[in-house]
Structures are given as structure tokens and as C-alpha cells.
Amino acid sequence: MRSLPTAAELLKIAREGLLNELLPHLPKEHHYTALMAANALAISMREIQADDSQHKAEAALLHELYGSAAPDEGMDALAGHLAHDLRAGRFDARLDTVGQLLLAEVTARLRVSNPKYLKQAGLN
């Protein structure tokens, strides 16, 4: 059983209420906080609705850099390995390849946190 409306729909309508109904009545010094709150709601909404592109980008990163020797402890542990190996110079010969893989992963996160920024950076 699923409760309706969905969380994403609730966030969307809450954000519209905040921007369209509350904001016009707020004194100017509180606009910044209201806009930040609206932004927090928008990020949450996109995160709930996100497809698995971030997961795929992470998996590609894992596979490309560690292959079948990829540690099986999940993404957080992998990030730790990768961070450590980068600092130790183990990827010095392939820094550009790693950069390209990281770009895909960062792009997937940006699609959630700030898609407009991606557009400005010439990515989509």
C-alpha cells in the first residue's frame, strides 16, 4: 500500500506554497531564509525522484579503477580506498582517466543538488 500524495508531491506543493503565498508577505530581511528553504525543498524533491545515474556512475568508477579486485564493502568504503590511493600516487599514470570518471559521478550528484549549474558548465 502506498500513501498518496507521494513525498515528492508533498515537497513540491509545500515549496509552491512557500514561494507563491508566503514569500510575498515576508519582510525583505527574511527573503533569503525563505529562498534557502525553497532550495532545500527542491533538492530534496530531486533526490527522491532521482534515477539510478549516480549509482551507475559510482559503479563504473569502481569497475574501471578496481576491476574484479573491487572491494566488496560498498561505495563508502570504495571512496575511502580511492581517496587513499589517489593521495598515495597509485593513480598518477591515469589521473586524466580518473578525472573523467569522477566528472561523471560529480555530474550525477549535481543533477540533484543544482542542475542549473551543470547547464552553465556546458554539461547536461
Partner 1 sequence: MDANKETTGTPDIAAFAAAFLKKETGADGVEIHSCKRLGGGAIQENLALDLTITGGPWAGRHELVLRTDSPSSLAVSLGRAEEFAVLKVAFAAGVKVPEPLWLHQDAGELGKDFYLMRKAGGSAAARPLVRGDLTTDERDALLFELGGELAKLHTVRPPVASLDFLPMPDGTPAQSRVAEYRRLIDAIGRPQPTLEWALRWLELNAPASTETTLTHGDFRTGNYMVEDKHLSAVLDWEFAGWSDPMEDLGWLCARCWRFGAWEHEVGGVGGTAALARGYASIAGKPVDLSLLPYWEVMGIMRWAVIALMQAERHVSGEQPSLELALTGRMLPEIELDLIQEIQTIEKERARHA
Note the residues at the interface with partner 1 (CB under 8 A): 33, 36-37, 39-40, 43, 76, 79-80, 82-84, 86-87, 89, 91-92, 95-96, 98-99, 102-103, 105-107, 109-110, 113-114, 117-118, 120-121, 123
In the complex with partner 1, the residue whose CB is nearer, 13 or 103, is: 103
Nearest distance, CB of residue 32 and partner 1, angstroms: 8
Residue 118, Cβ neighbours under 10 Å: how many?
16
CB neighbour list of residue 42: distance below 8 Å, 6 or more residues apart: 11, 15
Nearest distance, CB of residue 106 and partner 1, angstroms: 5
In the complex with partner 1, the residue whose CB is nearer, 51 or 92, is: 92
Inter-helix orientation angle 95-113/53-66, to 10° = 170
In the complex with partner 1, the residue whose CB is nearer, 1 or 67, is: 67
Nearest distance, CB of residue 37 and partner 1, angstroms: 7
Among residues 10, 109, 13, which one has the least CA distance to residue 61? Answer: 109
State whether residue 5 is helix, strand or coil: coil
> What cell was used for 70?
573491487
Which sign, positive or negative, has the C-alpha torsion 109, 105, 62, 89? negative
In the complex with partner 1, the residue whose CB is nearer, 5 or 73, is: 73
Nearest distance, CB of residue 10 and partner 1, angstroms: 19
